[in-house]
Amino acid sequence: MSYNNILSEFENGITTITINRPKKLNALNKETISELHDALDAANNDADTKVIVLTGSGEKAFVAGADISEFADFSVEEGGNLAAKGQELLFDFTENLSTPVIAAVNGFALGGGLELAMSCHFRVASSNAKMGLPETSLGVIPGYGGTQRLPQLIGKGRAMEMVMTAGMIDAQQALNYGLVNHVVEQAELLPLCYKIASKIMRNSSVAISQAINAINANYKDGINGYDIEIEAFGNCFGTEDFKEGTTAFLEKRKADFPGK
């Protein structure tokens, strides 16, 4: 597929999706959100793609925010529809993909950009990265899941402070908060993501997809995560991956998993 605002490249089991609007600091507009949905969906459905890495072009920004010019004159109803559609099409969609998604945060991740990074399964940041939710300085609140995912990741008090002050934190503070898993120099960012991806790819894609579902269940209202874990655990027993993994262990060899 060809895209106007993103790049999608596959190599060695990894699909790297790059938001490519450098003149706009990779800001999210409707077209970019739609293209990201399509690219993520295609990678998730590709049997050869074991891990997805999501990043921004250049060295300044992952995603510097949403394209404010698109919604500055929206009504109450239009604003609500914007948030609902965006969450469905991209942010909730990304969080619930069965293929692991790593955010390689290569610079500013602000507003919708931080919300996108938080919807990925985990985050790795370059040392120059800055993160924040500045929406209250515009008279609005985060609308793409930021008020929900940020407290889950860093705690209620810290999330309240970040949202209320509309301030930014640097990569080291994000690491201290648990918002990102690792911080490295920019030149090492993608290589580290690919190194982590290679470790993920040694394991069962089927089991990993079940684990993603079970972990996410703990953060959904009205869902008992333990029940989902029990069901997912049981489901694994009916898979070829389980047969191969246990057989390989008993035969003292490396498992060769069938894949997705």
> Using an 8 Å Cβ cutoff, are 44 and 208 in contact?
no
DSSP codes of every residue in 14-78: EEEEEE--GGGTT-B-HHHHHHHHHHHHHHHT-TT--EEEEEESTTTEEE--B-GGGTTT--HHH
Q: Show which residues are catalytic.
A: 115, 135
Question: 179 Cβ partners below 8 Å, 6+ apart?
Answer: 118, 123, 131, 150, 153, 154, 169
Which pair of structure tokens corresponds to residue 235? 């489901």
> What pLDDT is stored for residue 259 in this prediction?
72
pLDDT tens for each residue of 4-25: 999 999 999 999 999 999 999 9
What is residue 24's predicted lDDT score, i.e. its pLDDT?
A: 93
Residue 91 confidence class, pLDDT cut points 50, 70, 90: very high
Q: Across residues 171-187, what is the average pLDDT? A: 98
The structure tokens listed for 232 are: 């997912």
Q: What is the pTM of this model?
A: 0.95
Query: What's the DSSP call for residue 237?
Result: T
pLDDT value at 171 more than 80: yes
Mean pLDDT in residue range 80-84: 93
DSSP 124-151: EEETT-EEE--GGGGT----SSHHHHHH
Residue type, 240: E
With CA atoms as reference, report the closest residue to 178 among 220, 127, 112, 122. Answer: 122
Q: At a CB cut-off of 8 Å and minimum separation 6, what does 11 contact?
A: none
Confidence of residue 249 (pLDDT cuts 50, 70, 90): very high
Confidence of residue 1 (pLDDT cuts 50, 70, 90): confident
Q: What pLDDT, in 10s, does the model give residues 44-56?
A: 999 999 999 999 9
Q: What is the DSSP letter of 202?
A: T
pLDDT band with cut points at 50, 70 and 90 for residue 217? very high
Q: In whole numbers, what is the pLDDT of the chain averaged over residues?
A: 96
Whether residue 67 is predicted with pLDDT greater than 90 in this model: the reply is no
Average the pLDDT over 139-148 and give the result. Answer: 96
pLDDT (average), residues 212-233 = 94
Query: Which carries the bigger pLDDT value, residue 160 or residue 220?
Result: 160
Residue 157 confidence (pLDDT): 98
Q: Is the pLDDT of residue 260 over 80?
A: no
pLDDT tens-digit map of 199-213: 999 999 999 999 999
Among 64, 77, 54, smallest CA distance to 24 is for: 64
Average pLDDT on 176-183 reads 98
